[in-house]
Structure 1
Amino acid sequence: MASESFEESPDYVQSLARGLQVLRAFDRELPSPSLSQVAERTGLSRAVARRLLLTLQHLGYVGSRGRSFFLTPRVLELGYSYLSSLDLTEMAQQSLELLSQRVGESCSMAVLDGTDIVYVLRVPVRRVMSVALGVGARLPAFATSMGRAILADLADDALAAWMKGQTFRAYTPQTLHTVSALKAELARVRKQGYALVSRELEHGLCSIAVPIHAVDGSVVAALNVGMPYSDDAPGRAVKQILPVLREAQAAVEQTISRGGWLPHLTMKNAYA
């Protein structure tokens, strides 16, 4: 059922959707918004935003200080429930730690969530981005190595559905941000089995990623190694880091295979 059709059905709970909208109004740029700012960000009236904030405050997910609101640690329960049910992160933890030790760089695992990738596991060595990354961090999938490693697995019709209605912006002069350029790059990623992104999301960042397959062959996540950009960083990523990254990829996939783990929803049908 199409999203628009479902929103008009009796099964759609508008108050729940609006409550989640309010939770998403809090972020790094606006950690303690006022009622007016929450209403503006969500497109809700002040009266509706106020009722939702007070309800979330009653439930313990939001606190208030003067005229400002803030998220409480209880919100982490929502994300932890997902991670604890995923099992995939526990399977990959040891492999990522070993990978990071061997290459001397930060390593991460992410999954696709809508237009973004979401970090579900990270072993940091140094900070290579202006934005602090950790579990739960979100980045635009189209401009990241892990996002492209996952998107490259989508069939043409599923990829077209994913791209429909999106606006791709150029974060740097190097960013691939047209549909034709992205499709060509994803075809290249699919053929070579890895994604390399250099200075597309930030000027000082280079990263390389490989997909992680479940037992049924579907791509469920991606692993990457991120490093500061230098003239020789892309060459080092492919020649020196990629072989070690592929070993970690194989180790994680073997662990998944032995455990018989299957995703609740494969990427192939998520955008069908």
Structure 2
Amino acid sequence: MDPVAPASEGLQSLARGLAVIETLAAADEPMTLARVAQSAGLNRAVTRRVLLTLVDVGYVLAHGRDFTLRPRVLELGEAYRASLRLPAIAVGPMQDLTRSTGRSSALGVLDGADVVHVERVAAGRIVDAVPDIGTRLPARTSALGRVLLAALPKGALRDVLRGGVAAPLAEDDELVATLAGVRAQGHCVVAEELQRGLTSVAAPVRDATGRVVAAVDLALTTVTLPDGRVPEDDVAAVRAAAEAISAAAAGL
């Protein structure tokens, strides 16, 4: 039995692939299938399937019986480094957003079924509902999280939802339908689902390839909204901030 054994078959395959990549990365010379299997703690048949898959997608080079990593694997590390720089480049557009609206803003990224706040700009009010940096919340409950979930392929979305806070299938189906609407309109509004009296509007931040890598939102006090609706000017301001951050992210 393999030591890498998550409950989900998809996650198990991913874990095995990462184990093989880590094994090849730690080696100072090409490795045979047998050595990779032994070092990664996998059986030979599984290791062979993983290696051939990594060869097919361009992360591993096969030369005879030996295997080595290809330069493309560096893209994985670069994506992570770019994500670390994202909060720094987002601050300027977020400050402009907060200054123009008088409301606090936040930047979040998806981590499994949660949204993690990685940057915030407070409006300077005595009471501020924007979570601190590092706060982790269920993605399904917030505008930030729903924007990020809406960007996931349907299969990946189902995996994320089942791996997070358990909910009846009917609720998942309802959320999937809601996310389709978020994806179509390009932003999301959530009123008082995360916190009583708080409404938020969020829009996606994209990298140079068009992939959604984060989301930015604006926090509004529900009682101040005319007819309970978010003003179009605020929606436009959030979308403009997201576009400004995306433009900066494209240069990372």
TM-score category of the 2 structures, normalised to the smaller one: 0.5 to 0.7
Change (3 A) 1:153 1:145: same
Write the deviation string for residues 25-52 of structure 1: whole angstroms up to 9, x where unpaired. xxxxxxxxxxxxxxxxxxxxxxxxxxxx
Superposed counterparts of 1:181-200, under 5 Å:
181-200=174-193
Change (3 A) 1:244 1:235: farther
CA distance in 1, matches of 2:94, 2:187: 17
CA distance in 2, matches of 1:234, 1:185: 22
Change (3 A) 1:90 1:250: same
| Residues 83 and 89 in structure 1, CA contact (< 8 A), matched pair in contact too | no
CA distance in 1, matches of 2:81, 2:122: 19
The aligned counterpart of 1:121 is: 119
Displacement after TM superposition at 1:195 (Å): 0.6
Counterpart residue type for residue 202 of structure 1:
Q
CA distance in 1, matches of 2:227, 2:148: 20
The aligned counterpart of 1:93 is: 91
In the superposition, the TM-score normalised over structure 2's length comes to 0.64
Change (3 A) 1:215 1:225: same
In the superposition, the TM-score normalised over structure 1's length comes to 0.59
Would you tell me which structure has more helix in proportion to its own residues?
2
Superposed counterparts of 1:23-38, under 5 Å:
none
Counterpart selection for 1:3 from 1, 6, 10: 6
Say whether residues 1:227 and 2:225 are aligned partners: no
Write the deviation string for residues 197-244 of structure 1: whole angstroms up to 9, x where unpaired. 001111111000000000011100000001111273675524120111
Please, what is the CA RMSD of the aligned residues?
A: 2.9
CA distance in 1, matches of 2:81, 2:163: 29
The aligned counterpart of 2:160 is: 162
| Residues 109 and 122 in structure 1, CA contact (< 8 A), matched pair in contact too | yes
Write the deviation string for residues 101-151 of structure 1: whole angstroms up to 9, x where unpaired. 00000000000111111111100123343xx72111111100000000111
Counterpart residue type for residue 84 of structure 2:
L
| Residues 203 and 215 in structure 2, CA contact (< 8 A), matched pair in contact too | yes
Give the count of matched residue pairs: 181
| Residues 95 and 252 in structure 1, CA contact (< 8 A), matched pair in contact too | yes
SS in structure 1 at match of 2:239: helix
Counterpart residue type for residue 3 of structure 1:
P
SS in structure 2 at match of 1:87: helix
Say whether residues 1:106 and 2:104 are aligned partners: yes
Counterpart residue type for residue 241 of structure 1:
D
| Residues 113 and 163 in structure 2, CA contact (< 8 A), matched pair in contact too | no
| Residues 207 and 249 in structure 2, CA contact (< 8 A), matched pair in contact too | yes
Change (3 A) 1:197 1:128: farther
SS in structure 2 at match of 1:119: strand
SS in structure 2 at match of 1:223: strand
Gaps of 5+ in 2: 21-79
| Residues 222 and 228 in structure 2, CA contact (< 8 A), matched pair in contact too | no
| Residues 110 and 214 in structure 2, CA contact (< 8 A), matched pair in contact too | yes
Counterpart residue type for residue 172 of structure 2:
V
Counterpart residue type for residue 252 of structure 1:
I
Say whether residues 1:134 and 2:127 are aligned partners: no
SS in structure 2 at match of 1:202: coil
| Residues 225 and 231 in structure 2, CA contact (< 8 A), matched pair in contact too | no
Write the deviation string for residues 3-58 of structure 1: whole angstroms up to 9, x where unpaired. 3458899x69xxxxxxxxxxxxxxxxxxxxxxxxxxxxxxxxxxxxxxxxxxxxxx
The aligned counterpart of 2:51 is: none
SS in structure 2 at match of 1:189: helix
Change (3 A) 1:251 1:106: same
Change (3 A) 1:241 1:168: farther
CA distance in 2, matches of 1:188, 1:142: 14
